[in-house]
Chains A and B, each alone.
Chain A
Amino acid sequence: MTGAIPSIALVGNPNAGKSSLFNALTGARQKIANYPGVTVERKAGHASFADGRPISLIDLPGTYSLTPASLDEAVTRDVVLGRQDGEKRPDALIVVLDAANLDNHLSFALELLALNLPTVVALNMVDLATRDGLTLDAERLSKELGVPVVPTVAVRKRGMAELLAAVDGAIRSHAAGEVAVPAKANDASLHQRARTIARTAILSETPVRRWTQRVDNIVLHPIAGMIILLALMFVMFQAVYAAAEAPADFLEGGIGVVQQWVVATFPDNFLRGLVVEGLLAGVGAVVVFLPQILILFLFILLLEASGYMTRAAFLMDGLMGKVGLSGRGFIPLLSSFACAVPGIMATRAIPDEKDRLTTILIAPLMTCSARLPVYALIIAAFIPNTTIGGSPVGLQGLVLFGLYLSGIVGALVVAYILRRTVAKGAGAGFMMEMPRYQMPRLRDIAIGLWQRAWIFLRRAGTIIAMTTVILWLLLTFPQAPEGESQVEYSVAGRIASGLEVVVKPIGFNHDIALALIPAMAAREVAVSAMATANAIDAGDDEEAMAQSLGERLQGKWSLATALAFLAWFVFAPQCISTIAITRRETNGWKWPMFMVGYLFLLAYAAAGITYWTAVAFGLG
């Protein structure tokens, strides 16, 4: 041991409750980053021993053994063996076991104990084990394993102090010296030993009729289960629309108040224009969508924490298998509805290389939250806010659902083609543990939501703020002479006029051409770009300033153009972050370039077909 802050790693099987334990130990004091060279998420946090000495904790990806089947499992092995770049070998391990699943989880624990690091076993979720009719003897388990065993209930913060005290003791009493290298053990005999030890530790086992089985009989039913899954998805997208309205209006009002205050307080100069028309109009137009993004993430986090997500993967495996993917891909793809970046990162759990590549390439087709600002603006402006035939189903929500569905269908078709051409390979496997149902914990959900909100706001404050400011400059110079439109006359306007030639056939006007360029950085910038351009266009015209962006677009665009614009964004790969993460995850420029190319082609075709069809129906 050095004099530095001891670092302690949490290791364990998937579904052992490791993340809850990590949250209980560190609270909100945690930092998410990436391991250098790989994009596996590194979750680190701080805590302290009872006497106040600080410790640092890292939460390693869940895995079944030290023989990894996927990239994130490899990180766990490399960290505990001290082979991971930029990460020193942990000073101690907390091995997290699911108390109700001892026979299975003990195999990995035995493998970790053989490493000869100071180790403490957290016998987690003992309350659930009791619910399942199990009585365990932690003392006896401790004697068998030769390390302290502390019963914990992470979600109730029970056993945390005892756990840390045991870690402290383990580090102190550990005989420094030889660092064991894992022997290539026969895994079958390891599993046998694990089962024998588990049987010693289990004092009694009464079979309990489990309600969870009755739930699964319905949720995994071929027909009822599918209806439930579709209904959940539908409710999720309706909620994104309905529940976010009030907080979004509130945010919008707030930004308006700040703008008016700046206008009233400061003299009219270059800087005031930049702040009001550039920063506040641009960034503000994106920040108002924070409530919708949070609602979407709330649903995803709840589905994940409750254990339903794996059931959904089970139901979708058949369909995904038909296009050459596996149910494993469902979770990354569903995450991509929030953002393709974590979605693409989550593909690391897919063991088959070709399966994984295909999932990465279609992830941007899932409607991410960055498209929501665009969709929300256009739908609110052009689709009437009515319900269909007296039912509670809103037309606006239905259009949104349709857009999501187009992305999904497009993704399946693309996957089918890719798996038969560039990503050809044998049928992917699908092996997964189904976690028990659990009540999601408010605290874990809140921490997850806070992290997403922070990432979104940081993006709004950096990429989006920067691009809007640059766009404002390009829109403001050179100054138009009296009687000419400033937007048309500016540098940005002239570039847009060039692009307009290309996109005119698919019904795009000058406004859209102007918005598409900065939206390469991030899709939602399209909204802030239009907001900035319109703010400059409105100038000091009080009436124009009072109009919302949607109202102004209503006067300028046809319905056919609006629909074509929506269709474009179903496919267009306009997100620098996604392209960058794809490059990193595929180790080169080949696949991101391929992705950008095919998606732009699809976007152009989809917008064109939508526009021409709409015009044919007289909506032009």
Chain B
Amino acid sequence: MTALLENVLDRAPLGVMVRIARIDWTAMSEDEGRRLREFGLMEGCEVTPLHRGSIFSRDPLALTVGRMKVIIRARQAAAIEIEPLA
């Protein structure tokens, strides 16, 4: 479990493209899950985390999905498992 935690989007270094390996859909509400998919965040797609938080908090996270840039919360990013690009 602890080993897996290191592979989540929430901990990913900024500016490096990674692939989404698995998303724990049960960790979020159905609406949140659907909105993630509407943003194009699905298993197998490639994302680049770019900006994280402000002086106030670690939240939120901005990342690119394809040619789109989206903002999600750290809580959702923690449910997204990632793997390095081959």
A residues apposed to B, CB below 8 Å: 64-65, 67, 69, 100-101, 103-104, 107, 132, 187-188, 191, 213, 216-217, 220, 222-223, 225-226, 310, 313-319, 321-322, 327, 351, 427, 429-434, 436
Is the CB–CB distance between A432 and B70 below 8 Å?
A: yes
Ranked nearest first, the 6 interchain pairs of A and B with the lowest CB-CB distance are A318-B56, A318-B57, A64-B38, A434-B69, A319-B56, A220-B51
Q: Is B78 in the interface zone, CB < 8 Å from A?
A: no
B residues whose Cβ falls under 8 Å from a Cβ of A: 31-32, 34-40, 42, 50-51, 53-60, 62, 65-73, 75-76
Chain A binding site: helix, strand, loop or mixed by DSSP? helix
In contact, A187 and B37 (Cβ under 8 angstroms): yes
B38 A314 Cβ-Cβ under 8 A = no
Residues of A within 8 A of B32 (CB): 429, 431
How far apart are B33's CB and chain A's nearest CB, in angstroms? 9
Contact assessment for A318 and B59 in the assembled complex, using a CB-CB cutoff below 8 Å? yes
Q: Indicate if the CB atoms of A318 and B55 lie closer than 8 Å.
A: yes
Answer whether A430 and B68 are a contact pair too, CB < 8 Å, given A187-B37, A225-B54, A317-B54: no
Q: List 30 A-B contacts (CB under 8 A).
A: A64-B38, A65-B34, A103-B40, A107-B38, A187-B37, A216-B50, A220-B62, A222-B55, A225-B54, A313-B71, A314-B71, A316-B54, A317-B54, A317-B57, A317-B59, A318-B56, A321-B57, A322-B56, A322-B57, A327-B60, A429-B76, A430-B59, A430-B60, A430-B72, A431-B73, A432-B70, A433-B69, A433-B71, A434-B62, A434-B69
Q: Are A65 and B38 in contact (CB under 8 A)?
A: yes
Q: Are A315 and B54 in contact (CB under 8 A)?
A: yes
Q: Is A319 touching B57 in the complex (CB atoms < 8 A)?
A: yes
**Complex interface: chain A residues within 8 A of B69 (CB):** 216, 433-434, 436
Instruction: Check B39 against A431 for contact (C-beta < 8 Å).
Output: yes
With A101-B67, A226-B55 as contacts: A431 and B76 at CB distance below 8 Å:
yes
Cβ contact within 8 Å between B54 and A100? no
B68–A101 touching, CB < 8 Å: yes
**Bound: A557/B73 CA distance, A:** 51
- Tell me how far the C-beta of A334 lies from the nearest C-beta in chain B, rounded to whole angstroms: 16
What chain B residues lie within 8 Å of A188 (beta carbons)? Answer: 37, 42
Q: Does B71 contact A223, Cβ atoms closer than 8 Å?
A: no
Q: Pick the contact of B37 from A100, A191, A327, A434 — CB < 8 Å?
A: A191
**Cα distance, A372 to B43, chains bound together (Å):** 51
Complex Cα distance, B59 from A322, in Å, reads 10
A276–B36 alpha-carbon span in the complex (Å): 61
A148 to B39, CA, bound (A): 25
